[in-house]
């Protein structure tokens, strides 16, 4: 499907064809084959029949809209903290500094992580701790809805991770060890694009070109087109393809950590969001292993002829640096706190 609009130096834009993984399919070999093909090709695929009802997904989107419709001064009371929990204003995140004329993404967001009480020893870890919640009087039932979705999305991610393990010739529960997804870093992020029109030739994007940091990302979107992927980041010029929303499906993509783990056999692909003047809502769920997990080349992904390309690194060390590189220093918001 062709789109005849041109954006900057982009060639004609088209809609990408992605494999679709049905989690209710009893033929695991077919699912593994489809997923492996997708991971070798572009690192993006759809997941359907994942067990989260459409009725509940609609509720999560409705509650997301309720939050973003609050006045800015109310949202700033929920500003993200140093643990990356809470509200992120428009332009807070700069994902593609080479091309974004140093203004940031035209989106606002809200981070919700694994809820860990302040008095729990795990709360000392950089990506664990209490979340920032709106008061129930402001958004009734909001916290309960988001906590339920956080839990259900993690189960979907674990089901996908089992198929990924088999596709990498590992044991089916390889990623389910305590030091991996047994106690993961899992972050829900609500996103709202306000209806700005992107212009790549001027460095204006809904979300700048980037690859995700972690293991995998689940993405639910409304029906507004906006997400694009670039299957070959080294191509000149880069070719960008839209990913069509499918109602009820998750769009799943691999993160840089899995590319590193697999010794670049599986791809973490550049993607971005272009605004077309319509409001757009999406819900991303980022899944990473335990803080202390050592990410090193998988045994099935190295050989004499293909030695490890990266040194081992702790998950928390890697993620902390990636977040620091892409988010505004919190001190710039001090004026909103007085």
The whole-angstrom separation of Cα 242 and Cα 15 is 4
| DSSP state, residue 163 | H
Residue 278 is predicted with a pLDDT of 93
> 154-204 pLDDT, tens per residue?
999 999 999 999 999 999 999 999 889 989 999 999 999 988 888 888 888
- pLDDT beyond 90 at 337: no
> 210-259 pLDDT, tens per residue?
999 899 999 999 999 999 999 988 888 889 999 999 999 999 999 999 99
Residue 322 is predicted with a pLDDT of 77
- By CB neighbour count within 10 A (0-12 exposed, 13-18 middle, 19+ buried), where does 14 fall? middle
> 266-284 pLDDT, tens per residue?
989 999 999 999 999 999 9
- pLDDT beyond 60 at 10: no
∠ CA 322-328-334, nearest 5°, is 140
Helix axes 54-68, 142-167, angle to 10 degrees: 120
Residue 99 is predicted with a pLDDT of 65
What is the length of the chain?
338
- pLDDT beyond 60 at 7: no
Q: Dmax over Cα atoms in the chain, in whole Å? A: 62
Average pLDDT, the chain: 88
Higher-confidence residue: 102 or 207? 207
CB atoms within 10 A of CB 75: 20
Residue of 193, 165, 149, 105 lying closest to 289 (CA atoms) = 165
* SS3 category, 325: helix
Residue of 266, 268, 316, 272 lying closest to 294 (CA atoms) = 316
The answer to whether 213 and 286 have CB atoms below 8 angstroms apart is yes
Task: Give the pair of three-digit tokens for residue 252.
Answer: 């799943």
Residue of 35, 37, 2 lying closest to 241 (CA atoms) = 2
Nearby residues of 297 by Cβ (< 8 Å), 6 or more positions away: 261, 263, 308, 309, 310
Range 60-82 average pLDDT: 94
The answer to whether 196 and 273 have CB atoms below 8 angstroms apart is no
pTM beyond 0.85: the answer is yes
Residue of 210, 221, 238 lying closest to 326 (CA atoms) = 210
Domains and CATH numbers, the chain: 20-329 (2.60.120.330)
Task: Give the pair of three-digit tokens for residue 17.
Answer: 């064809």
Residue 92 is predicted with a pLDDT of 63
Instruction: Tell me what percent of the residues of the chain surpass a pLDDT of 90.
Output: 67
Task: Give the pair of three-digit tokens for residue 14.
Answer: 């088209």
Instruction: Report CA Rg, the chain.
Output: 19
């Amino acid at each position: 499907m062709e789109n005849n609009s041109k954006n900057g130096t982009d060639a004609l834009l088209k809609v990408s064809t992605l494999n679709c993984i049905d989690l209710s399919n009893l033929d695991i070999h077919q699912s593994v084959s489809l997923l492996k093909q997708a991971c070798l090709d572009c690192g993006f695929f759809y997941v359907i029949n994942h067990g989260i009802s459409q009725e509940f997904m609609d509720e999560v989107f409705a509650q997301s809209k309720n939050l973003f419709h609050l006045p800015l001064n109310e949202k700033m009371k929920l500003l993200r903290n140093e643990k990356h929990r809470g509200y992120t204003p428009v332009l807070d995140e700069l994902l593609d500094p080479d091309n974004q004329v140093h203004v940031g993404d035209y989106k606002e967001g809200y981070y919700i992580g694994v809820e860990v009480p302040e008095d729990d020893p795990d709360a000392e870890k950089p990506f664990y701790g209490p979340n920032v919640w709106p008061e129930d009087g402001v958004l009734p039932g909001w916290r309960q809805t988001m906590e339920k979705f956080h839990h259900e999305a993690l189960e979907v991610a674990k089901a996908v991770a089992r198929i990924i393990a088999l596709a990498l010739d590992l044991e089916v529960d390889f990623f389910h060890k305590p030091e991996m997804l047994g106690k993961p870093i899992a972050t829900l992020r609500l996103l709202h694009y306000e209806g700005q029109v992107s212009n790549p030739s001027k460095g204006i994007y809904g979300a700048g070109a980037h690859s995700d940091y972690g293991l995998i990302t689940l993405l639910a979107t409304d029906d507004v087109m906006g997400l694009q992927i670039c299957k070959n980041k080294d191509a000149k010029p880069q070719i960008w393809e839209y990913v069509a929303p499918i109602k009820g499906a998750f769009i799943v993509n691999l993160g840089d950590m899995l590319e590193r783990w697999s010794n670049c056999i599986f791809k973490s692909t550049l993607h971005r969001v272009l605004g077309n003047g319509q409001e757009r809502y999406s819900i991303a769920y980022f899944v990473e292993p335990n803080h202390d997990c050592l990410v090193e080349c998988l045994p099935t992904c190295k050989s004499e002829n293909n030695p490890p390309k990266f040194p081992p690194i702790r998950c928390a060390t890697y993620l902390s640096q990636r977040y620091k590189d892409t988010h505004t220093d919190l001190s710039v918001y001090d004026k909103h706190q007085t």
